[in-house]
Structure 1
Amino acid sequence: MSSRLLIQRRFAPLFWTQALGAFNDNLVRMVLLLLVWSVASQQDREYGWIPSLAAVVFLLPFLLLSSWGGMLGDRLDKQRLIRRLKLLELVIIGMASVAVWFESIVMLFVVLLLLGVQSALFEPVKYAILPQHLVPTELVNGNAWIGAGFFVAILAGTLLAESLMTLPEPWARLTVILALVGTASLGLMASFAVPPAPPRARIRVTWHPWRSTWEVLRQGVREKHLFPAMLGIAAFWFFGTCYLTLLPAWARNIVGGASSFSLLLTAFVLGVGGGALLCARFSAGRLELGLVPLGALLIGAASLYLASLAPLPGGMHELAILMGSGGFWQMLVGFALVGVGGGLYSVPLYTLIQVISREEQRARLISAANIINALLVAMALAYGIAMLVWLESGLRMFVASLGAMALIIGAGLLLRRPRPVLRLMIFALVHVIYRLRFHGRQHIPVRGAALVVCNHVSFMDALVLGGASPRPLRFLMDQPIYESPWLNWWFRIVGAIPVNSDRRDPGNVRRALNEVSHALRQGEVVMLFPEGRLTPDGEIQGFRRGLDMILARDPVPVVPAGLAGLWGSWTSHYGGRALTKLPRRFRARVALSFGEPLSAREARSALLETRVRKLKAEAEAWVTDRGKSPLAQS
Structure 2
Amino acid sequence: MNDRPIPATSDATRERTGHASQFTLLRERRFAPFFWTQFLGAMNDNVFKIGFTSLVTYQAARFSGVDPKTVAFLISAIFIAPFVLFSATAGQIADKYDKAMLARWVKTFEIAVMLVGATGFWLHSAPLLYACTFLMGVHSTVFGPVKYAYLPQNLSTDELVGGNGLVEMGTFVAILLGTIIGGVAAGIGATDAGAGGGTPAGAVWLGALCIGVAIVGRVASAFVPPCAPSQPGLRINWNPVSETWRNLRLAHGNRTVFLSLLGISWLWFFGATFLSSFFNFAKDVLSADSGVVTVLLAMFSLGIGLGSLLCERLSRRRIEIGLVPLGSIGMSVFGIDLFFASHALPAAPHLLSVGEFLGVAAHWRVLADLFLLAMFGGFYSVPLYALIQSRSEPSHRARIIAANNILNALFMIVSALMAMALSNAGVGIPGIFLTTALLNIVVAAYIYTLVPEFLLRFIAWVLVHTFYRVRLVHAEHIPVKGPAVLVCNHVSYVDAIVIMAESPRPIRFVMDHQIFRNPFLGWVFRHAKAIPIAPAHEDAAQLTAAYDACAAALADGDLVCIFPEGKLTKTGDMNPFRHGVTEVLRRSPVPVVPMALRGLWGSVFSRGAVSDQPRPARRALASRLTLAVGEPIAPDEVTLERLQETVAELRGARR
Q: TM-score, normalised by structure 2?
A: 0.83
Q: Which amino acid aligns with 2:222?
A: F
- Residue equivalent to 2:13: none
Q: Which sits farther off after the overlay, 537-546 or 125-134?
A: 537-546
Residues in 2 aligned to 1:536 and 1:27: alpha-carbon distance in whole angstroms? 67
Name the CA shift for 1:595/1:8 in 2 (closer, same or farther; >3 Å): farther
Taking a change above 3 Å as real, the CA distance of residues 58 and 357 of structure 1, as seen in their structure-2 partners, is same
Q: Counterpart in 1 of 2:304?
A: 272
Confirm or deny: 8 A CA contact 2:263 2:447 kept in the other structure: no
Structure 2 vs 1, CA of residues 197 and 369 (structure 1 numbering), >3 Å: closer, same or farther?
A: same
In structure 2, list runs of 5 or more residues that go unmatched. 1-20, 191-199
Contact residue 299 and residue 407 of structure 1 kept, 8 A: no
Q: Which amino acid aligns with 1:143?
A: N
In structure 2, the residue matched to 1:21 is 41
Q: How does 1:378-393 map to 2 (within 5 A)?
A: 378-388=413-423, 390-393=424-427
How do 1:95-244 residues align onto structure 2 when only pairs under 5 Å count?
Answer: 95-168=116-189, 172-173=202-203, 175-177=205-207, 179-201=209-231, 202-244=233-275
Is the 1:301–1:407 contact (alpha carbons within 8 Å) kept by the matching residues of 2? no
Aligned-residue offset at 1:114? 1.6
CA displacement at 1:614 relative to structure 2: 7.3
Say if 2:303 and 2:375, in contact at 8 Å, map to a contact too.
yes
Question: Is contact 1:255-1:317 (8 Å) kept?
Answer: no
Structure 1 residues 197 and 566, CA, compared in 2 at 3 Å: closer, same or farther? farther
Give the secondary-structure state (helix, strand or coil) at the position aligned to 1:471: coil
The CA distance in 2 between the partners of 1:247 and 1:503, in whole Å, is: 68
1:450 aligns with 2:484: yes
Aligned partner letter, 1:113: F
Residue 62 of structure 1 deviates from its aligned partner by 0.8
Retained in 2: the 8 A contact 1:254–1:316? no
SS of equivalent residue, structure 1 residue 64: helix
Map of 2:385 onto structure 1: 350
Matched to 2:336, the amino acid is L
1:613–1:70: structure 2 CA closer, same or farther, 3 Å change rule? farther
**Pair 1:37-2:69 in alignment:** no
Aligned residue in 2 for 1:306: 338
Cα deviation code 1:1-48 (max 9, x no counterpart)? 743333333333322221111011111111111221232267898521
Deviation at 1:341, TM superposition (A): 3.3
CA RMSD of aligned residues (A): 3.7
CA deviation string 1:587-611 (max 9, x = no partner): 5554434456555445569886787
| Displacement after TM superposition at 1:547 (Å) | 1.8
**2:367 equivalent in structure 1:** 332
Q: Which moved more, 1:532-541 or 1:548-557?
A: 532-541
Mapped partners of 1:538, 1:581: distance in 2: 10
Instruction: State the 1:286 CA deviation.
Output: 3.1
2:331–2:373 Cα contact (<8 Å) kept: yes
Corresponding residue pairs, total: 617
Per-residue Cα deviation, 1:280-335 (whole angstroms, up to 9, x for no partner): 333223333333333333323323322234459xx989667987763322221222
Change (3 A) 1:553 1:195: farther
Which deviates more, 454-463 or 543-552? 454-463
**Aligned residue type for 1:256:** S
Distance 2:641 2:147 in 1: 45
State the one-letter code of the partner of 1:127.
Answer: Y
Q: Give distance in 2, aligned partners of 1:178 and 1:370.
A: 30
Q: Secondary structure at the match of 1:582?
A: coil
TM-score (norm 1): 0.85
Quick check: 315-324 or 441-450, which moved more?
315-324
8 A Cα contact 1:299 1:403, kept in partner: yes
Cα drift, residue 486 of structure 1: 7.4
> Which shows bigger deviation, 480-489 or 420-429?
480-489
Which consecutive residues of structure 1, in runs of 5 or more, have no partner in the other structure? 624-634
Measure how far apart 1:50 and its partner are: 1.2
Farther off after superposition, 570-579 or 126-135? 570-579
Distance 2:557 2:262 in 1: 23
Q: Which moved more, 1:425-434 or 1:298-307?
A: 425-434
What secondary structure, in the 3-state scheme, does the structure 1 residue paired with 2:627 have?
A: strand
- 1:414 Cα deviation (Å)? 4.3
Do 1:356 and 1:447's aligned partners in 2 also have CA atoms closer than 8 Å?
no
- 2:609–2:615 Cα contact (<8 Å) kept: no
SS in 2 for 1:226: helix
The 8 Å contact of residues 135 and 442 in structure 1, kept in 2 or not, is answered as: no
Q: In structure 2, do the counterparts of structure 1 residues 467 and 38 end up closer, same or farther at CA, with 3 Å as the change threshold?
A: same
Identity rate of aligned residues, in percent?
36
What residue identity is the alignment partner of 1:243?
F
With 440-449 and 212-221 compared, the bigger mean Cα shift is at 440-449
Aligned residue number for residue 81 of structure 2: 60
